Amino acid sequence: MGIPLDISSGPEDPQIHAGVAVIGGGVVGHGIAWEAQRSGRSVVLVDDAPGSGASWAAAGMLAPVSELHYQEEDLLELMLESSSLWPGFAAGVAAATGSDSGYLTTPTLAVGADAADRAALMDLRRVQQANGLEVEPLTVREARRREPLLSPGIACALDTPADHQVDPRRLVGAIRLALAGAAAWTPELAVEGAADGFAVQDRAAGLLWDGGKVAGVRLAGGGTIHATETVVANGLQAPGLGGLPDGLRLPLRPVHGDILRLAVPQHLRPLVTSTVRGLVHGLPVYIVPRQDGTVVIGATQREDALPDAVSAGGVYQLLRDAQALVPAVAELELLECTARARPATPDNAPLLGRVPLPAGSGAHIPGLIIATGFFRHGVLLTPAAAAICRDLLDGTADPRWSPFSPDRFSRPLAATGTHIKETA
């Protein structure tokens, strides 16, 4: 591995050579690119609007415990693995850049608004406990001693100390710095960074094939990235990529979320010291405190929306339910309403790994890794996705992650030698 970067940039058709090309500059793509780079590979990250997709809206909760859903134990294992990797990952980013990634071990308080919400949270606690997770009920009085601005009308509170947070916008910025060295991003330059890591501000048009293997990326702007390995990490845009293997079905659907950012006036700081994850008459809402005196309130899940359109009903619901838990939310300054779509899969788990050749052969399409479909868990799963991809680049695959094989929703891939689906 470790092909040195080589840019022969003719005006018409720049040719870039790298060890690894990562398509998609969200938090997952950044994490994979950086992990590949620090494992000794030269890396190119391709995105025409890095960090502006689902990562831009994400609240950054690192919440394997709270995010446990019934019958998603495989996903739980991956989430716990990634959670355990987070401290080292964040420290690595900080050490590489001198820049804080916004990682905080803020504890989480799960709060139910009414008796039905309490029952739902207590039912979930049984599953959480069966999986060895720590979730401890507090009395309302105890919860309000810890968070005095919680409404006295809440029905229950459960301490969930293992669920933490990171600021995804700071994180992407910090990884970007780590990836590109100290080179600052300038929009005039299509390429930033130098030496062994940089980013191309362009859209990937499709995969470049060389015989039966993927050999890089064709750029929409006309250039080509020649790479030993290519990672498809561009979220909802992955299925639209040209040259995907014939028969590979990436069944992603957009699940929109509205998220609010608010400033806490000085006299109300801190509004909360824990992340408050509420269930309010059956609807989830969370309040994530940041160190800069702001809070993030999210997040709706809508499947019938215009791209990036903020829903008036969604904003209303978030403000209503957040006030039900913390009435002083009414006193905050509303700084920003943002909506983005997250890439969801039929089983809520990512499409992560190499693409197997026809069943039984045991081999994979060389040069290609898929890493998309992270849905609500992209930020939490970034260190695990990065580590899993690094292992795949090294030629090893942990069987624990085989349930996330990207071909699990595909008909058996064609047995012929041609794997190229020309859709671009």
Q: What residues line the site for a copy of itself (CB under 8 A)?
A: 260, 262-263, 265, 306, 309-313, 315-316, 319-320, 323, 329-335, 337
Nearer to a copy of itself (CB atom), residue 257 or residue 383: 257
Tokens describing residue 216 = 């890089």
Query: Please, what is the minimum distance in Å from the beta carbon of residue 316 to a copy of itself?
Result: 4
Query: Please, what is the minimum distance in Å from the beta carbon of residue 237 to a copy of itself?
Result: 22
Query: Please, what is the minimum distance in Å from the beta carbon of residue 266 to a copy of itself?
Result: 10
Query: Please, what is the minimum distance in Å from the beta carbon of residue 312 to a copy of itself?
Result: 4
- DSSP tag of 11: S
DSSP 161-187: TT-EE--HHHHHHHHHHHHHTTPPP-T
Nearer to a copy of itself (CB atom), residue 131 or residue 317: 317
Q: H or E segment at 28?
A: helix 27-38
Nearer to a copy of itself (CB atom), residue 130 or residue 330: 330
Nearer to a copy of itself (CB atom), residue 206 or residue 278: 278
What is the residue type of 320?
Answer: R
For residues 37 and 4, is the Cβ–Cβ distance under 8 A? Answer: no
Query: Please, what is the minimum distance in Å from the beta carbon of residue 303 to a copy of itself?
Result: 14
What is the residue type of 121?
Answer: L
For residues 204 and 190, is the Cβ–Cβ distance under 8 A? Answer: no
Query: Please, what is the minimum distance in Å from the beta carbon of residue 113 to a copy of itself?
Result: 16
Nearer to a copy of itself (CB atom), residue 194 or residue 306: 306
Q: Is 34 helix (H, G, I), strand (E, B) or coil?
A: helix
- DSSP tag of 25: -
Nearer to a copy of itself (CB atom), residue 90 or residue 329: 329
Q: Left if phi > 0, otherwise alpha if psi is -120 to 50, otherwise beta: which for 253?
A: beta
Q: Is 289 helix (H, G, I), strand (E, B) or coil?
A: strand
Nearer to a copy of itself (CB atom), residue 329 or residue 389: 329
Bond from prior residue into 299 cis (ω within 30 degrees of 0): yes
Residues 6+ apart with CB under 8 A from 52: none
Tokens describing residue 117 = 């919400």
Q: Left if phi > 0, otherwise alpha if psi is -120 to 50, otherwise beta: which for 124?
A: alpha
Query: Please, what is the minimum distance in Å from the beta carbon of residue 194 to a copy of itself?
Result: 36
Q: Where are the beta strands (DSSP E) in 146-293?
A: 156-160, 164-165, 191-194, 197-200, 204-210, 213-219, 224-232, 244-245, 253-263, 275-280, 283-289
Q: Is 417 helix (H, G, I), strand (E, B) or coil?
A: coil
Nearer to a copy of itself (CB atom), residue 45 or residue 150: 150
Query: Please, what is the minimum distance in Å from the beta carbon of residue 271 to a copy of itself?
Result: 11
For residues 138 and 157, is the Cβ–Cβ distance under 8 A? Answer: yes
Query: Please, what is the minimum distance in Å from the beta carbon of residue 275 to a copy of itself?
Result: 18
Residues 6+ apart with CB under 8 A from 99: 93, 170, 173, 174, 177
Tokens describing residue 219 = 């750029």
- DSSP tag of 5: P
Distance CA 259, CA 55 (A): 12
Distance CA 101, CA 324 (A): 31
Residues for the chain: how many in total? Answer: 424
Nearer to a copy of itself (CB atom), residue 65 or residue 328: 328
Nearer to a copy of itself (CB atom), residue 140 or residue 263: 263
Nearer to a copy of itself (CB atom), residue 72 or residue 308: 308
Query: Please, what is the minimum distance in Å from the beta carbon of residue 393 to a copy of itself?
Result: 42
Query: Please, what is the minimum distance in Å from the beta carbon of residue 60 to a copy of itself?
Result: 20
